[in-house]
Amino acid sequence: MDLSIIIPVYNGEKYIENCIYSIINKIKDNVEIIVVNDGSTDSTITILKRLSKKNKMLKIFNNKNKGVSFSRNFGIKNASGKYLIFLDADDFLSDDWSKILDVISKEEFDYLLCSNIDLSKSLDKSSLILHTVGLNNNTGYYFSTPWSKVYRRNFLLENNICFSEDIINGEDELFNIKVILIASKIRSEKLSIYNYRISKVSLTKSFNEKIYKSDYKFKEELKKLLEISDLTDDKKNDIIDFIEFNSYKMLINRISYVSKYATAKKLYLKVKVYNSKYCDNMLDKFIQYLHKNKFYFCIFLIYKFKNLIRSLKKEQIIKI
């Protein structure tokens, strides 16, 4: 088997059929589709059973709800392809995705980045790490995500590279940084294989208090990885500053998912204001000012309004 396409799905009834058909329409005998159902409670299972009856290359695994990282790791273990692609259930592959089979047949590699732009000048490990955490990336390419990439399966297994299952924000970055640090053969291909769907923001999102421990562990794991990198101390410090500030912004934003202000206020009190050189736009500076002066209700209203505006935006498809 040349290629395994791993799709984790949780309550994906709206898009999963379109996702799978984007593969099947161009399928070849040396490709398998592994769908890991993460305890869906909607009609996802029914749709998958119907599709699997017609398509032998479709392998369905049903698990209890354990999260996307568990599902991806499960897919890695149960795949039989030499190479792996990760595909989110609400996204879909491009019409030309099968051209990747020609690419993987020509030369062996550990890690391949696919894009509609030329990434060949961004493949040194220092640049890749910086781009993966979100620094100095002017390409528009999503370096941090596992999608639009191809991974050699044995490389992942031999080096025990997997997704951190107790981290719920930033696990993709850690996974790719581990790959970058260990990989000996990194390539890029100017080939668009992925369509990323930006859905409307739901106004019914909830705040998960696990984010505090998750965020702490993410930053600790990242620091350990930076220590074994060849980055200069200045670059490492820049990354830590950037990550700490984005962590601060992420927590403030996530607290806005809480429905009652009284609950949100208690959560704001747990978050320390973080001063960073990357706090360089007016809104971020204003939020910090409000936070320092304990104007929590203003912060709460600003983010509620931002999420309302985002929920009204039309769905977008980005070709990567």
User: 18 is written with which tokens?
Assistant: 């379109």
Q: What is the pLDDT of residues 90-106, one digit of tens each?
A: 999 999 999 999 999 99
Distance CA 172, CA 164 (A): 9
| Residue 313: predicted pLDDT | 86
Task: Kindly tell me if the per-residue pLDDT of 205 is higher than 90.
Answer: no
| Residue 204: predicted pLDDT | 54
Q: Which residue has the higher pLDDT, 315 or 155?
A: 155
| Residue 213: predicted pLDDT | 94
Instruction: Name the 3-class secondary structure at 115.
Output: strand
Q: Cβ contacts of residue 171 below 8 Å, gap of 6+?
A: 69, 163, 164, 165, 218
pTM of the model: 0.95
Specify the residue for token string 């990885």: 225
Instruction: Name the 3-class secondary structure at 5.
Output: strand
Where are the domain boundaries for CATH 3.90.550.10 in the chain?
3-198
Is 148:226 a contact under the CB 8 Å cutoff?
A: no
H or E stretch at 86: strand 83-86
User: 73 is written with which tokens?
Assistant: 């790791």
Mean pLDDT of the chain: 94
Count of residues for the chain? Answer: 320
| Residue 57: predicted pLDDT | 92
Distance CA 5, CA 194 (A): 12
Task: Kindly tell me if the per-residue pLDDT of 280 is higher than 60.
Answer: yes
Distance CA 116, CA 268 (A): 41
Q: What is the pLDDT of residues 152-202, one digit of tens each?
A: 999 999 999 999 999 999 999 999 999 999 999 999 999 999 999 988 665
Specify the residue for token string 């392809």: 81
Distance CA 316, CA 196 (A): 8
User: 170 is written with which tokens?
Assistant: 């930033």
| Residue 200: predicted pLDDT | 65
Task: Kindly tell me if the per-residue pLDDT of 151 is higher than 80.
Answer: yes
CATH class of the structural domain 3-198: alpha beta
Among 71-85, 166-180, 304-318, which stretch is predicted with the lowest mean pLDDT?
304-318
- What string of DSSP letters covers 97-140? GGGHHHHHHH---SEEEEESS--GGG-SHHHHHHHHHTSS--S-
What is each CA distance from 147 to 3, 92, 125, 159, 283, in whole angstroms? Answer: 14, 10, 19, 20, 31
Instruction: Give the residue-averaged pLDDT of 222-242.
Output: 97
Task: Kindly tell me if the per-residue pLDDT of 73 is higher than 60.
Answer: yes
| Residue 201: predicted pLDDT | 62
Distance CA 299, CA 261 (A): 10
Distance CA 110, CA 128 (A): 14
